[in-house]
Amino acid sequence: MPNSKLYKGSLTTIILKLLSEQEKMYGYEITQKVKELTKGELNITEGALYPSLHKLEANGLLEVEVVKVDNRLRKYYKLTNNGTKETVNKLEELQSYLKTMQSLIGKLA
């Protein structure tokens, strides 16, 4: 009934993919976007998201811009050049994994 759990290791790729399509996004926006795109199937928890964003920033894949909107802070993240490169790698890796798993699991007995 609830939403499927994240298979560990996929969150980073999801974040990078979204930012490759949208130029800049803030954390809360990412959680909502994923919920929307997956029709509630996948819920990114903030406890996973924020540390992940911080790590991507620390590794130089994302850069931050803090903006005040309606007296509330928003931290917009966008891909750096390295981030864009890594996105390609991570996407290929995950694609290949999904394909492999489909061929392993997908065909019915």
Partner DNA sequence: AATTAATACCTAAAATCCTTAGGTATAGTA
Partner DNA sequence: TACTATACCTAAGGATTTTAGGTATTAATT
Task: Give the interface with a copy of itself as residue ranges (CB under 8 A).
Answer: 4-5, 7-10, 13-14, 17, 20-21, 34, 37-38, 41-42, 91, 93-98, 100-106, 109
* DSSP-assigned states of every residue in 34-81: HHHHTTTS----HHHHHHHHHHHHHTTSEEEEEEEETTEEEEEEEE-H
User: Choosing among DNA, a copy of itself, none, which partner's interface includes residue 34 (Cβ < 5 to 8 Å by kind)?
Assistant: a copy of itself
Of 2-10, 16-24, 79-87, 98-106: span binding DNA (CB under 7 A): 2-10
Q: Which is nearer to a copy of itself, 68 or 107 (CB)?
A: 107
Instruction: Indicate the residue among 50 and 99 with the shorter CB distance to DNA.
Output: 50
**Least distance in angstroms from the C-beta of 109 to DNA:** 21
Pairing outcome for strands 62-69 and 25-26: unpaired
